[in-house]
Amino acid sequence: MYLEDNKTIRLQLWDTAGQERFRSLIPSYIRDSHVAVICYDITNKKSFNNLEKWINDVKLERGNDVIIVIVGNKSDLNNKRQVTVEEAENLVKLSDGKFIIETSTKANHNVKLLFKKIAQCLPDFNESSDDQKPETVNISVDNESTPIIHYIYFLLTTFTSY
């Protein structure tokens, strides 16, 4: 991903369903993650109600050393909404999350913005000490931009197709 300030950030994504049977996979998925993106379906109140449990699981594994982002998916189905934006914003505040954004993968609404906002939230590893830097790989032809690998964990609290 290219940012405005001529930096390149490489985002490596892991995706797991939020179903109970995948719960045991959380530690291996999130161990080296910098960001946890926890998704819910805006048309399904139960998926939103499960967010707190998933946020707690992430915090148990990573403590406060992870950026938590909440994503409300299916924003194209606003007429079937069961979760208000205000409810999601309150949860973000209570859980020390970074931000909430609503997206629609079907309509491709706010998907690029989600990744851009995630990239902008990541710590500036150029100013941190070398022992805190993640492994980096320069895949750029010019030497002006240095890509940094950031590990992002996606957790979908429900999986339902349109």
**What pLDDT is stored for residue 152 in this prediction?**
52
Q: How confident is the model at residue 63 (pLDDT cuts 50, 70, 90)?
A: confident
Note whether residue 2 is domain-resident: no
- The CATH number linked to 122 is 3.40.50.300
Instruction: Give the tens place of pLDDT for each residue, 143-156.
Output: 343 344 445 555 44
Note whether residue 85 is domain-resident: yes
Are 10 and 147 in contact, with CB atoms under 8 Å apart? yes
- Domains held by the chain: number: 1
Residue 93 has pLDDT above 90, yes or no: yes
What letter represents residue 48's amino acid?
F
Q: What range does the domain containing 126 cover?
A: 9-156
Instruction: Give the tens place of pLDDT for each residue, 12-45.
Output: 777 666 666 766 777 777 777 888 888 999 999 9
